Amino acid sequence: MSSLARTRADFPTLHQNVGPHPLVYLDNAATSHKPRAVIDALARYYECDNSNVHRGLHALSMRATDGFDAARARAAKFINAADPAEIVFTRGTTESINLVAQSWGAANLRPGDVILITEMEHHSNLVPWQQIAQRTGATLRYVPVAGENAQHGLDLDALDKLLTPEVKIFAFTHISNTLGTINPAADLCARARKAGALTLLDAAQSIGHEPLDVRAIGCDFLAFSGHKMCGPTGIGVLYGRRELLDAMTPWQSGGGMIANVEYFNTTYKPSPERFEAGTPDVSGAIGLHAAMDYLDALGRPLIAAHDSALAAQARAALAELPGIRILGPLQNSKRSGLVSFAFKDVHAHDIVTFADQDGIALRGGHHCNQPLMRKLGLPSTTRASFYVYNTPEEIDILIKSLRKILKFFGS
């Protein structure tokens, strides 16, 4: 069995038909499938250890607590954080960014301050900043994307001009979920740091696909979701530098995050517990731990090479189709494992609906990037996003199906 076939064998959901056709799952930027190791870790937790954490002195509670704490230490190692206390468990990228906007933002932003984001942000890294700008009187500014079809990526000259002393935080995506652009995270963080701004990196699209080292990148905060990297839904991480997290006040409160409560006064635990009010997603953290082990056993550099080779193959084949417009950078080295495209005369929803009849799962729409789509003059795009279990043959099936659909619509 080839190593790709062995990897595919680890994912039970892949082995099914959609109607008469074998499933071709190309919607990995939305969520990835889960390997048997993750499903087994979840089942084992519920079958053997199920208990609440950090509050019981009985055997099950202690085992659950050990598992939860081990997951935190594993997450720190996965991104090379200095200290497990820098890992806050959240529901996902969206909640991680909201935490920073609501806690750090509410305490540190004033009228005259600037929040800098980019024109390619997912709504998750845009709407929370809009809200906190409105609440604090800070100004929201955008680094533009340049080039037809946003092919040149972020305009770095514009970024340097926008990085004035008023900028308190620069929050940007590592990989665009619509364009596939890989932003040079370490370079962007260095530019922001030189200008005196903090940085938040949205790693939702990169975390499961390439090695990620927060100290090498030099970001102050990093947000990601478990479900896009072979882990369960409902669990994610906010990484924050220790001194930043310790200076931030809780944004939600209740059990689990307090040091001492009196009827009219409360003191809080240090980070990360002060940001984890209520019973946490214990099974999610344990499943995430298994996902991190799984990805590292495969090797993240190999995953990155595999995904980007598939995306390059797909782009070359798609470019032959009539009336196609492919978004994002032209050089493969600046692109991730996803390809977003639009046809002149056929709507993305029609493409996705017809492709589904051939067993192919694609995503069509605005991809939570409405302002960017408006800027590009597109109502929607079709997106094919690849992961470690996808094969070159699946791209051939996609292209064949697209040709059939275009013919049907007379293109």
Site string (15-34) toward ligand 7TS, x via CB under 6 A = --------------xx----
Please tell me whether the peptide bond between 272 and the residue prior to it is cis, using omega within 30 degrees of 0. yes
> Closest separation between CB of residue 205 and ligand 7TS, Å?
5
Smallest Cα–Cα separation from 170: which of 144, 191, 146?
191
Q: Coil, strand, or helix at residue 93?
A: helix
DSSP assignments along 275-335, one per residue: G--SS--HHHHHHHHHHHHHHHHH-HHHHHHHHHHHHHHHHHHHTTSTTEEE-S-SSGGGB
98 lies in the site for ligand 7TS, by CB under 6 A: no
How far apart (Å, rounded) are the C-alpha atoms in residues 131 and 124? 11
Subset of 226-285 contacting ligand 7TS (CB under 6 A)? none
Token match 């067993």: residue?
359
Q: How many residues bind ligand 7TS (CB under 6 A)?
A: 17
CB 241 within 8 A of CB 271: no
Subset of 339-368 contacting ligand 7TS (CB under 6 A)? 363, 367-368
Site string (126-165) toward ligand 7TS, x via CB under 6 A = ----------------------------------------
> Closest separation between CB of residue 224 and ligand 7TS, Å?
8
DSSP letter for 169, please. Answer: E
> Closest separation between CB of residue 403 and ligand 7TS, Å?
25
CB 33 within 8 A of CB 11: yes
How far apart (Å, rounded) are the C-alpha atoms in residues 169 and 114? 7
> Closest separation between CB of residue 232 and ligand 7TS, Å?
11
CB 278 within 8 A of CB 256: yes
State yes or no: is 368 an active-site residue. yes
> Closest separation between CB of residue 149 and ligand 7TS, Å?
18
Please pick, among 189, 219, 230, 368, the residue that the annotation labels catalytic: 368
Pick between residue 163 and residue 201 the one whose CB is nearest to ligand 7TS. Answer: 201
Radius of gyration of the chain (CA): 22
Site string (107-126) toward ligand 7TS, x via CB under 6 A = ---------------x-xx-
90 lies in the site for ligand 7TS, by CB under 6 A: no
202 lies in the site for ligand 7TS, by CB under 6 A: yes
Q: Which residues are tagged catalytic?
A: 368
- Note the residues at the interface with ligand 7TS (CB under 6 A): 29-30, 92-94, 122, 124-125, 173, 177, 202, 204-205, 225, 363, 367-368
